[in-house]
Amino acid sequence: MKAIASGLAVVGLLAGSACTAEPPQASAPAATATTAERPAPASPVASPGTSGTSGTPALTVEQAQAALIDEGDLGVPWTATDGTATWHDGLLKAATGQADCQRLLEGLYTDELLGTPAGPQAATALDDGDDAAQLRYQVDASRSADVERTLAWLRTLPRTCGQFTAQTTAAGTEAVQITDAGLPNDLGDARQGLRMTLTAQPTATDAPTTLTLDVAVVRVGDDAIVLTAGALGTLPDDTTEQALDIGAQRLAQVREKGRAQA
């Protein structure tokens, strides 16, 4: 059964919630079928035309949009999204008593794994109806030191959150397992990927529901790519690396073009 909700996609990104032991209260945003952008704050680091920590001009909204991938990059059966996958609310809206694990669940649910963005960001989502899968791809104007802190934290999760349970708001108790995804060393300037499985059994008579979710953050200069790709069916093995490889090269090219035009 196709695991994509029928609601319309909503343009915009939900702000990250605080890390608590309670389930996130905000409604999940619908995945974007086109680019979603957040205007740059008045911070000198994030303002277009100013320099980031590496001395290069900060990423602009237009550059973030240009650095996104689309269905043409991944090919059939990927298409622009129909709406937020049903598993987003069903399995990611959950609470656990372990602080780092709760922080991860909330970051995934609110699509703010990096926290509050330092500047513009753009995002898109794609569906694979054959495998009941959805991919969300985000480009953030960031500070390299902030991205490195997030990467360092993600690297600890296979140990600190290798196995835990969480209480969902819709599917009962779920068992979560996290392992290192082993991304290629030449992907961007720094990277970390996780493979998560979330298995819920709402009642004793219901069949278990298992979500396989790839989570990845890649730093390219001062900027970051955040990818989540999940499926209730089978997640194609090469999807995550293919999307990140194309995206990291594209972001670097967009940056190079911006420097040439400056």
Cβ atoms 250, 256 nearer than 8 A: no
Residue for token digits 């909330």?
A: 106
pLDDT confidence of residue 18 = 35
Q: How do residues 161-192 score in pLDDT, each as one tens digit? A: 999 999 998 889 999 999 999 999 999 999 99
Closest C-alpha to 46, from 190, 143, 145, 144: 143
pLDDT confidence of residue 203 = 75
pTM of the model: 0.79
- Alpha carbon distance 219, 147 (integer Å): 7
Structural domain contains residue 28: no
Q: How do residues 190-226 score in pLDDT, each as one tens digit? A: 999 999 999 998 777 778 899 999 999 999 999 999 9
- Alpha carbon distance 43, 46 (integer Å): 5
pLDDT confidence of residue 117 = 77
Q: Quick one: CA dihedral 240, 241, 242, 246, positive or negative?
A: positive
Structural domain contains residue 25: no
Number of folded domains in the chain? 1
Quick one: pLDDT band at residue 7, thresholds 50, 70, 90?
very low
pLDDT confidence of residue 230 = 96
Closest C-alpha to 190, from 214, 162, 216, 228: 216
Report which residue type is found at 227. Answer: L
CATH number at residue 153: 3.40.1000
2 or 154, which is more confident?
Answer: 154
For residue 161, give its domain range.
36-261
Structural domain contains residue 60: yes
* Count of residues in the chain: 262
Structural domain contains residue 2: no
pLDDT confidence of residue 80 = 93
Structural domain contains residue 82: yes
Structural domain contains residue 16: no
Say whether pLDDT at 100 is over 70. yes
Q: Phi/psi at 82 (nearest 5 deg)?
A: -90, -15
Structural domain contains residue 249: yes
pLDDT confidence of residue 236 = 81
CB contact burial 84-102 (16+ within 10 A = b; e otherwise):
bbbbbbbbbbbbbebebbb
Q: Which two tokens stand for residue 89?
A: 């609310």
Structural domain contains residue 13: no
- Alpha carbon distance 37, 249 (integer Å): 21
Lowest mean pLDDT among 41-55, 137-151, 245-259: 41-55
